[in-house]
Amino acid sequence: MSDENYPTFKDVVSAAEAIDGLAVKTPLLKCEHLSDMLDAEIYVKAECLQRVGAFKFRGAYNRLSRLNAEERNRGVVAYSSGNHAQGVAASAQILGINATIVMPEDSPKMKLENTRNYGAEVITYDRENESREEIANQISEERGCIVVPSFADFYIIAGQGTAALEAIEQANEKDVDFDLFMTPVGGGGLIAGCSLAVKELSPDTEIYGVEPEGFNDVQRSIETGTLVKNERASGSLCDAILTPVTEQMNYDIMAENLSGVLTVTDDQALSAMKYAWEKMKLVVEPGAAVALAAVLNGKIDVKGKNVCLVLSGGNVDEETFIRALES
Q: How far apart are CA 280 and CA 44, in angstroms?
A: 9
| Contacting residues toward a copy of itself, per CB under 8 A | 24, 26-27, 29-30, 32, 48-49, 51, 53, 110, 277-278, 280-284, 314, 318, 321-322, 325-326
Q: How many CB atoms lie within 10 A of CB 319?
A: 9
Beta carbon nearer to a copy of itself, 56 or 299? 56
Q: Is 312 marked active-site?
A: yes
Beta carbon nearer to a copy of itself, 118 or 125? 118
Contacts of 107 (CB under 8 A, 6+ apart): 81, 82, 85, 124, 239
Q: Is 111 marked active-site?
A: no
- CA-closest candidate to residue 6, choices 226, 229, 213, 254: 254
Cα dihedral sign, 133-136-139-145: negative
- CA-closest candidate to residue 87, choices 121, 60, 68: 60
Minimum CB distance to a copy of itself, residue 80 (Å): 19
Beta carbon nearer to a copy of itself, 67 or 283? 283
Beta carbon nearer to a copy of itself, 52 or 218? 52
Minimum CB distance to a copy of itself, residue 325 (Å): 5
Q: How far apart are CA 143 and CA 276, in angstroms?
A: 43
CB 178 within 8 A of CB 205: yes
Contacts of 222 (CB under 8 A, 6+ apart): 251, 254, 255, 258, 261
Beta carbon nearer to a copy of itself, 58 or 132? 58
Q: How far apart are CA 101 and CA 103, in angstroms?
A: 6
Minimum CB distance to a copy of itself, residue 287 (Å): 14
Minimum CB distance to a copy of itself, residue 17 (Å): 17
Q: How far apart are CA 154 and CA 201, in angstroms?
A: 20
Catalytic residue among 45, 56, 199, 299: 56
Q: How many CB atoms lie within 10 A of CB 126?
A: 12
The DSSP element (H or E) to which 28 belongs, if any, is strand 28-30
Catalytic residue among 279, 281, 312, 327: 312
Minimum CB distance to a copy of itself, residue 49 (Å): 6
Which residues are designated catalytic? 56, 312
